Chains A and B, each alone.
Chain A
């Protein structure tokens, strides 16, 4: 299996070139399936998907990240915390939520290490995703960065920090051993 995005893109491009040649020569984009030899029509159309996701009503969260702060929202009436932060309080039928900075102390509830990654994550080394119960009582799911992955276990004390995600360079939040 190819390891890097570049390798995969190279393989795909090579293959597409082969299909293009075949289409020109044979007049049809039909190739034999690798294992069975079954004839497959290779889609001539291609669709590229990149979603545009509105964040206007939770913009404060992203502004906070840039300042090294992580915010949740909280219902001023019932005290309910929302993380991921949301703008509406369905409990009160209101949108009067207040922004509160997360203290950042927590304890691991569970975790996993992603070995087989989605195509769009294939350029990262294997990563640990953990869910921590924060001292305020809500949970946060994100990557856990540690030099000692073998020591990670449920119950471990962690803290929440803001770091840039490389190589893209966008601000994100991470758990670290406390």
Chain B
């Protein structure tokens, strides 16, 4: 294996991009990433595109993007891991470089959700689980799947809907400081509590919005990375796990087994002690498609003991300066969640955090130089855990 690092990042504004087509949006992120890395299209040997699609018109997004961005004839692949498609794109690009098959690869994440109506998108995301046994007859929605985790969690630990709301309040606070975020509006617990139920006990303000957006990262081999930048952000390791398609096949609804498994594997490879995990990382990006999901993430990543995650945000422990700052970009909840872009957005955000390029109010204190991304596809159907570090991985 060759060491691989992120050497360039690009990120569009997240929101409703009714003024841009998919490839125009992707190009905006790609252009910025190439310029940030100081390279041209001719240096890119492989392109991985994370895109879930269906709500947008083009069924072959990778080829459309490559042509528009002048990336042909570099090899490409479009990958799908539901809401973790972006991390799957990072994986494909990273593995291509790590295996020595390319010196420079590009990971692109893009989603154009506003090409379909809100109701159509609700329908299409609801089908992303087990279509025949859980959607066709019983009409689950994406909030509905996570709501079942919320019900079980609140009941088991005596947490309240206000505790879920505290996550939304934190993530809206940071989104307000992030020009790329979908929402720029600070909210209160009361605002969340007054919003209408979408899938009880989850309310509108517990949910991430339907968002358009793109992000891109340039990944280079150690030899090239050293030439391009003084601060390569190394992909220390990435671990992947899956969960059952049918939610009914799961033994508990208090944690996502796939996330636990992927974190365990990543921690083992990187030498992180699970019960002290928060001490290893200066900052984390976790998959808060719904407020309950961020609480599960705290516990699944070992940032806190089981049943105590719901108090972390309320007590300020996941704000900047707390035990471990989480989602200082506003998270999926308020930065927005353009499905296939999210994992690449996490990679871009953590690169900027480790390079200390964010405005001070949302820049984590970088002491150890380690960051972690937790990107979940579907309802724990896929889990991608990626550890990024400023220090070079020990083995090359």
Contacts and interface: CB of A to CB of B under 8 A. Distances in A.
Interface of A: 8, 33, 35-36, 38, 40, 43, 53, 83-84, 109-122, 124, 127, 129, 131, 138-143, 153-154, 165, 172
B226 to A, nearest CB: 44
A84 B246 contact: yes
B330 to A, nearest CB: 21
Interface stretch (B76-84, B91-99, B117-125): B117-125
A119 B122 contact: yes
A116 B141 contact: yes
B16 interface: yes
Interface string B230-249: 00000000000000001111
Given A83-B248, A118-B122, 4 more contacts: A84-B246, A110-B149, A112-B144, A119-B123
A83 B123 CA distance: 24
Contacts of A127: 138-139
Nearest to A173: B137
Main secondary structure of the interface of A (DSSP, over half): mixed
Interface of B: 16, 18-19, 57, 119-120, 122-123, 126-127, 130, 132-135, 137-141, 143-144, 147-152, 155-156, 196-202, 246-250, 253
A138 B250 CA distance: 9
Nearest to A85: B133
Contact of B123 (A38, A111, A118, A129): A118
Contact of A118 (B139, B152, B198, B249): B139
Contacts of A115: 196-200
Nearest to B147: A112
Contacts of B246: 84, 141
Contact of B200 (A38, A112, A143, A172): A112
Contacts of B196: 115
Contacts of A154: 151-152, 155-156
A113 B253 CA distance: 16
B139 A124 contact: yes
Contacts of B143: 116
A128 B253 CA distance: 17
A139 B120 CA distance: 30
Contacts of A112: 144, 147-148, 150-151, 199-202
A109 to B, nearest CB: 6
Contact of B199 (A43, A83, A114): A114
Nearest to A128: B200
Q: Give the residue among A53, A112, A141, A165 with the most B Cβ atoms within 10 A.
A: A112
A158 B127 CA distance: 26
Given A111-B151, A129-B148, A153-B155, A120 B248 contact: no
A83 B122 CA distance: 26
A22 to B, nearest CB: 17
